[in-house]
Structure 1
Amino acid sequence: MALKVRELLKLAHKKNTAIIAFECIDYNMVYAIAVASQKTGIPAIVMVEPATCIDKNDCHPTAFSGIFKGVAEQIDAPIALHLDHCYDFSYILNTMKNGFGSVMYDGSKLSLEENIKNTKKVVEAARVFDCDVEAEIGHVGMANAEDNQNIDFYTKPETAKYFCEETGISSLAIAIGSAHGMYKKTPQLDLERLEQINAATDTPLVLHGGSGIPNEQLELAFKKGINKFNVGTEYFQVYYAAISEFCEKYKIVDHYSKTPLHVLDLPKYTQNKLIDYLVKKLQLTKL
């Protein structure tokens, strides 16, 4: 059952918690999210990032939209589809035309006024396709560069307020001490800043760089205004570990093998590992 991201954010806001969005690259990862969501009754968001599609050639956005649609029709689960960090208007427009109900335009490396100008252009196009738009103020950088400790990157409450009023976005990604990738040391979210940003705008707030943040901090962040929480690295690690485990355990390349498992059992094996992880992870939202 495909839903709009805005519906899930509204639910999260009402329940004073966050919806978890998981970065994906293929059918197995999408299918596992749908099954886990169905099992728990807890909504989730399926994401894909253009860099994954283009640089890594892991998937194509139109094909990915088709995968999501097929899974959503197959499994009765409260899930939504979202395009993560994208810097190119043409690419965003193409995804909106091809089934994405939510997109993120990331102009966080630009000047404030240029970010506003470009974001407004995306929002105007999104109205035609009834799409949601996420944008970013401040800059959520990379954990391996310890960008999460650079206060210069953090979102300012007054800037967040101005940006949301000027653009009319659906949700706002903010920088409060998180970063993408695996942290060198445990991050410390600036929860006081989060409270100030939340007080400055009614726009739902998004936390990127969720892998490796302690649950205690996340639960406080949810209570203080975060309505969407992104997980990428952690989910990929579970997936890759499952593939490695299968290959090491069975060492099979012949799908006609008479041994208990063969290579065509790999998808189901990895799906089950992902589902186990997701069922536990989704409990964090308390929905």
Structure 2
Amino acid sequence: MVISEQAGKRGIREYIDFFLRYPQFREHAYVFSSEKAAKDILALLDPLERSSAESLREMANLKLGTRITALELGKSIEGPGSSVILSRMLILPPEPDQDKLTTTPYVKGLSLYKEDRYVKTVKEPLSVGVLLLAKELNNIIMPVEFKPLKGSFSIQPIEIQTVLKPRIVNQQWSMKVDVQTRGEVVLNTTDADLTDPAVITKLEQEWSAKLTTLAHDALDMSQKELRTDLFKFAVEFRRYYPNHWKKQEKNWETIYPELDVEVKVEAHVVRTGKSTGPQGIPNEDEN
């Protein structure tokens, strides 16, 4: 299912109601957002797949953004957070000798919804912070650089775990976000030697700092600009503090923008690739 941002500005509650009621639609079908009209995405003749539907499903399976089903979309919009994050689809330009429809869609950015209305498009690098807090960050390669080295390291996370820990002490609501990630260096364009423990330690510190900064940027946008709980913090408070939540549920829109959020990121490099030398050059004893 594809919903254009233009349609999203008018509200999508009636579309969701129809999708979930009409028996020929699958409630577990994936839902995407599009910059252009939805029919332009669905009309594509992907040269690698039997239909545009197959192409979209493969995009979802690649986990390049969020994977939201029609049922999850309805629950998110009607849930305590009243928000949803959709992967944004664009159309790859066709080859010069191909028909304009003979091409494929691709994922680039996110469309953010408050209640049932589209409110903002987010692109990299901010989208990385949004996906990290939303527990949807997968299949990404991140450049990390630090002075005085020239060049950068490219790290692919192997595993990312984001744990939300709500707290209410003396009527003060707060949230601790604990992120644990392990990754592999897939490219090194610096002159640094990854067999040096000091280089690995510094790389882990800079990677942790970068993820922390992106998470804080996403929080600032969510709390201060949109004033919308994009990351389902409300769900965690309802789960851990049901009595407090029942009393303050109606005040969540006021509580969330002022919520004290602590982000802690621990990033570890556990693999450095087949070559440990700089710029992928094999050591002499490896030849």
Structure holding more strand per residue:
2
Q: Into which bin does the TM-score normalised by the smaller protein fall?
A: under 0.3
Structure holding more helix per residue:
1
TM (norm. structure 2) is 0.24
**Which protein, 1 or 2, shows the higher relative CO under an 8 Å CA cutoff with sep ≥ 6?**
1
